Amino acid sequence: MAIKFATDEWIKALCAQLNANEAYAQAAKDWEGDFYFIVEPEGSLTETIYLYMDLWHGKCREAFATKNPDERNPAYRMSAPMSTWRKVIEKQLDPIQGMMTRKLKLKGDMMRVMKVPKAAIEIVNSCTKIETEFLE
């Protein structure tokens, strides 16, 4: 059964996929940092959605969706409209290329993120394992 993107159920499914992904565990073994993946309003989505993930040494320790940006103060905030996130998840847009072209806007230490490109790729690979339904 498909899970709607940008929901609490979806981000928790991604957390579980990351925790089962040995390639991600290896690629991110030295990574410490939490994120808000921010889905900006577009089309039928009228509110900003914040998908929080606490990523720690190759594991996802916590994940949830919220509409309150003050719920956490993560080290990184990556934002884009729904259509851009869909391109990333469907492997039509590489996340590193997306950041370099500013299709994905990153607030946080860009150089630190650029040191672990394999981890970003494995996050996307984990996304593709979730049967995802996108809002139009």
Asked, for residue 136, whether it belongs to a domain, the answer is: no
pLDDT-based confidence at residue 136 (cuts at 50, 70, 90): low
Residues 6+ apart with CB under 8 A from 131: 1, 2, 3
Among residues 97, 82, 91, the alpha carbon closest in space to that of 51 is found at: 82
pLDDT for position 117: 86
Question: 38-86, pLDDT tens digit by residue?
Answer: 999 998 889 999 999 999 999 999 999 999 999 999 999 999 999 999 9
Q: What is the domain range of residue 38?
A: 3-128
DSSP states along 110-125: HHHHHT-HHHHHHHHH
Phi, psi angles (nearest 5°) of residue 21: -100, 105
Q: Is residue 133 part of a domain?
A: no
Decide if 20 is inside a domain: yes
Question: Are the CB atoms for 128 and 91 separated by under 8 Å?
Answer: yes
Residue 135 pLDDT greater than 70, yes or no: yes
Residue 111 — pLDDT band, cuts 50, 70, 90?
A: confident
- Whether 135 is in a domain gets the answer no
Arithmetic mean of pLDDT, 22-42: 95
The answer to pTM > 0.85 is: yes
Rounded to whole angstroms, the Cα distance separating 134 from 59 reads: 26
Count: domains in the chain: 1
Which CATH number do you get for residue 41? 3.30.1050.10
Residue 121 pLDDT > 70: yes
